[in-house]
Amino acid sequence: MIGSVRGSVLERSPTGEVLVEVGGVGYRVLVPMSAVPSLSPGAGAFLFTHLHVRDDALVLYGFPTRAERDTFEVLVGATGVGPKLALGILSVHSPAALRRALIDDDVDALTLVPGVGKRTAQRLLIEFKARLDVPDFEPVEAAAPPTARAEVRGALAGLGYEPDEIRDVLAQLEADGPVEDLLRDALKLLAVSRV
């Protein structure tokens, strides 16, 4: 099994595929969309990998961190979750953000993943909690306040914005800050995108 690749990036596609040359051999590797910007052609790359074997293909998935690869492997072991969905989840949520969503029972966070509706998100929430053994990752506080981004996501959903719009605008916001500032910035971005 191929556990990692180190080499130089020859090309990347907007769909999340990079071509990494290792010792004269080019490996096509599918990566989370969040990793694509850091993998520019000509730059060096190191990716932890998972080789997925299908009847008709061998597909190599790559991740900048071991935690992402390990989470991917747990996700693909869940009922009804293939590598495409697992990669989609990790494109939207880091392993830590995914655990936080599971701890908070945040169904809306899972609906930000393309192709995941509310009903599927509820099923995945139950499945992932069991597989990721969530209580052991982080102690659950009795009344942990929701994060600022979670509040902004809830506010935008309450205003009638679609999950795709919310996901896109959250990706453009600062990592953290006061809820009011993040919400104001999000509304500005949404106003520009609807013009």
Among the candidates 35, 63, 91, a domain finishes at: 63
Among the candidates 63, 82, 103, a domain finishes at: 63
Q: Please indicate, yes or no, whether residues 187 and 132 belong to a single structural domain of this protein.
A: no
According to DSSP, the β-strands at 25-30 and 58-63 are parallel
How far apart CA 30 and CA 28 sit, in angstroms, is 7
> 107 with 122: CB under 8 angstroms?
yes
Q: Please indicate, yes or no, whether residues 46 and 83 belong to a single structural domain of this protein.
A: no
State pLDDT tens for residues 3-59. Answer: 899 999 999 998 889 999 999 999 999 999 988 888 989 999 999 999 999 888 899
Residue 142 maps to a domain: no
Read off the CATH number of the domain in which 78 is found.
1.10.150.20
- Quote the domain boundaries for residue 164: 148-193
- Tokens (6 digits) for 51: 């080789």
Overall domain count for the chain: 3
State pLDDT tens for residues 88-140. Answer: 999 998 888 888 888 888 888 888 888 888 888 888 888 887 777 654 444 44
Reported pTM: 0.66
Q: Please indicate, yes or no, whether residues 55 and 89 belong to a single structural domain of this protein.
A: no
